[in-house]
Structures are given as C-alpha cells and as structure tokens.
Structure 1
Amino acid sequence: MSFSLVTYMQEKNVGHLKICLTDIELATENFSEKYIIGDDEFGFYTFYKARLNHFDDEKSSSVEGKNNDERSKRENNVVIKRVNTRNDIGEERFLTEIERLVNVKHPNIVTLLGFCVESYEMILVIDDVSNGFLGLYLGDNCSDVRRTLTWEKRLKICIDVANALDYIHSNMKDKKPMMHRDINANSIGLDENWGAKIVDFGFSAFERPYHLNDALPQRIVSRKKWYRAPVRANTSI
C-alpha cells in the first residue's frame, strides 16, 4: 500500500469502507471469468459482478464514533472494479477515484461501497450496474443486444448522464466543481431499471484545468478525442 493511500485513509476516516481480499475472492470464486461484466479499453481494470457484504451507505449518518465492527453492513449485489496493473499511474488513479467518490452523492453516479488494498491487489466496490455498460450495446458488432436499447431507454440514459455532469460541474454545493475528463460509453453503467450511472473517476479533477492534454497520458487523449466537446478539442478552454 502506498504511503499516500495510507495517509488519505487515516485523514479522511474511510477505514469503515475497507473490505478483506478473502471476502472478495470468495464472492468472485477467485476472480472467475464467469463474473466479468466488462473492462476498459486500455486494460487498466476489469469489472466483476458479485454478491458481497459491505458498509450500509443508507445508514451512514450513524457511523460517527463507532468502530468498524459496530457499523451497519448489508449483503447486496455489487460491482467489483479490479485494477489490473499496479504501478504509479494505477495507484494514482485508484487514490483519485476514492477521493472523488467520497465527495459525490448523486443517483446517476456510482456509490463507493468499499475498497481493498492487499498484497498486489487494488479493488473498488461500487453499487450494482446489472445491465452492464453502455459500450456493450453500441458498435457494429452489437446488433443483437442493441435491439434491447430502445429509443426511450436511450433518451433516459442521455438525460441521466446530463444530470450527473451538471451536478459535478456546478451543483456540488460547498464543494469545488469537478470535471470527469473520461466520459465515454464504457464509463456509463446501466442499473436494473436502465438508469445511467457514471463510473471511473480516476482521471477526474476539481476545478477546470487549462491544459487538459498535459494532464492525461497522450495515448489516452489521442484515442478518445472523439468524446471531447468540439470547443475543447479546438481551443485551450
């Protein structure tokens, strides 16, 4: 575990979100392929669907002053996000995502239910997106599953994503505005009611950066330029 992550957990009091690696391995049968529901295009992480005990976020107001054993927990369907490469970039993204998700609470943004940092593993546990990710339903090779995505559902997804972005850009009350900086079809999860939830805040940043291209690895910027707003692609705004 990196020093920065240890320091953050101590300062921010998020120890109650820690989940043992053995519990995650048991829930996924040692990360069996049959539990995989998606991954990112660069191979940074893999998503698994499982059922797991985790901190009960709905009763979060009652955790103050209690130790980890006394805090409310419940078993639920969850998504396990496993970082595939443990290096400086992977650790930085992992820490950034924890920092961002503990600062946001919105129905169209995934909730951080837990995390695990043991041995060489770095894992986030987020709420369930039982219908997978939007990228699974788009593209030339997705004609069969694409029929599931009716125009009514597509409109709902667009509105949900817009609401989430509006929230992090300008409606986080006493918190600084945030930019996600990696919105794409694979960072939009779909819950059981086809509601959209934004995931993957590893490249996000508070406030508006003036030189976004310098903040992201160049290969990611160049391969995802079609997701950027035209005003961002053509200017330094």
Structure 2
Amino acid sequence: MASLKESEHLSLPFPVIEAATKKFTTFIGSGGYGQVYKGELSLSGELRTVVVKRLSTKESKGGQGVNEFLTEIQLLSRYKHPNIVSLLGFCHQGDEKIFQQKILIYEYAEHGSLDTYLRGPCMFTWKQRINICIDAACGRDHLHNHVSDNHRVIHGDIKSGNILLGHNWKAMIADLGLSKRGLTTENDSYIVTHPCSTYAYLDPQYEITGILTKESDIYSFGVVLFEVLCGVVLFEVI
C-alpha cells in the first residue's frame, strides 16, 4: 500500500489540525505510536469533535510507522462500517518514505476504549456486555467477509484496547495499522515472520508458524469475549 492518491480527499493542512487541537494542548492519551488529542474540526460545514493521533516526530524522521500509517488511511478510507471507527482526515508532510508529520483524525468515541471498563468492578449490565460483543463481532465479520467480493481484511491485533465505545456505547474496532488484505480464495492470507499482535491475544498457531489467518483474529476476539465475561483485562494478569 504505497500510495495515498485515492485518499487525498481526506488530506488536511497542518495549520488546520493545529488550530483544531489548540496547538496540541488538548492531550488525552498516548501509546507506542505517539500522542492523542481531542479537537474540534469543521467538516462539510459541520463542527465535529474528533480524535487526533499524532505519530511522534522521532519515528517520522526515522521512517518508522510509515507502513502502518499508510495502511490505516487506505483501509479506513475504503471500507466503511458502523462498527469500524471512521477516519475523518489525515495530514502528512514529506515523501512517502519519511513523513515529517504523520497525523490521523478519527471520529470521537466519547466513552474511550473497552479495556478501561474492565479494570476493577465492571459497570456494564449483561445486556450492555452482550451488545458490545455483538457490535465488535459485526465489525470483525465485515472485515473478514464483506469488504469486497474478492478481498478480506485481517486485523492482526484485536484486543479490548482496540475496541472503542461511542455514543450509546456502540462498539467500534480501531487501529488497523497492522492489518493485512488478502484474497478471499486464500485460507492463509498472509505470511508474517514476526507476529506483532499483543501477546495475551496472540493465536498460538500464528506465533508458532508465522502464518496469519482470519482464524487468528477469531482467537483474539475470543480472548476479548473472555475478558468481557470475567470483567478483567487479560494481559494485565498474565
């Protein structure tokens, strides 16, 4: 996935994003990819609350994370579903080998990530738990079976931290940077020599063979179901 040409309609200039985040003072979280900010952005004449993920400048200069950045843009701009987080825009400066700025803009999930609610006493009713699991399953099913007649997308890192909760606690699968796209006629859609999934959610067969299949996602999703059932984040107790 080397080109952004098909997604250029989502490209936003850096000063617009800087203004939306009040010069990146609206910090709400961070991860291995960089920092996350809340912002207000005018899109199609409507002021919307958004999440801005800014990959670290150090990574950008070294070329790290570029493939994940491109993958996220191309998949999320192409494949839409209510239970997959929406990409609203992006910003890049530099060429497609070394970006000085790598910024992704998503719809705002007002309740944050699922793992936040699995620490300590679970606040969800059983009906809410079931609905969250069904939503996430619908998003996963869309990636595996309905993105197109000839292709499927394997997420590669399904975990409770990558499931966001929006309005009315609607669950949405996020973080598709490690995803792989393959033909539906192939059982083993991709071969990966170094599995990148979070360890507690990693399919043992994927770890042993390096072969990533849609069943790898299903295994990871099964771990998420276990977490929701038990009200615990598994990777924190292993």
TM-score, normalized by the shorter chain, greater than 0.5: yes
Q: Which residues of structure 1 form unaligned runs of 5+?
A: 55-71
TM-score w.r.t. length of structure 1: 0.74
TM-score w.r.t. length of structure 2: 0.74
Task: Supply the distance in 2 between the matched residues of 1:117 and 1:90 (Cα, whole angstroms).
Answer: 13
Give the deviation of 1:102 after TM superposition: 1.8
RMSD over aligned CA atoms reads 2.3
Aligned counterpart in structure 2 of residue 79 of structure 1, from 51, 73, 81: 51
Where does residue 4 of structure 2 map in the other structure? Answer: 9
Amino acid at match of 1:122: K
Q: Is the 8 A contact 2:50 2:105 kept in 1?
A: yes
1:105 and 2:80 aligned? yes
CA offsets per residue over residues 191-212 of structure 1, 9 Å max, x none? 0211111111111001244533
Give the deviation of 1:26 after TM superposition: 1.6
1:137 and 2:117 aligned? yes
Task: Supply the distance in 1 between the matched residues of 2:161 and 2:153 (Cα, whole angstroms).
Answer: 20
Q: Is the 8 A contact 2:89 2:105 kept in 1?
A: yes
Give the deviation of 1:234 after TM superposition: 5.9
Q: After superposing the two structures, state which structure 1 stretch, 97-106 or 114-123, moved more.
A: 114-123
Where does residue 226 of structure 2 map in the other structure? Answer: none
Task: Supply the distance in 1 between the matched residues of 2:81 and 2:91 (Cα, whole angstroms).
Answer: 23
Q: Is the 8 A contact 1:225 1:233 kept in 2?
A: no
Give the deviation of 1:104 after TM superposition: 0.8
Percent identity of paired positions between Structure 1 and Structure 2: 35
Give the deviation of 1:51 after TM superposition: 1.3
Amino acid at match of 1:133: S
Task: Supply the distance in 1 between the matched residues of 2:153 and 2:55 (Cα, whole angstroms).
Answer: 23
Q: Which residues of structure 2 form unaligned runs of 5+?
A: 95-99, 183-187, 214-238
Where does residue 18 of structure 1 map in the other structure? Answer: 11
Task: Count residues with an aligned counterpart.
Answer: 198
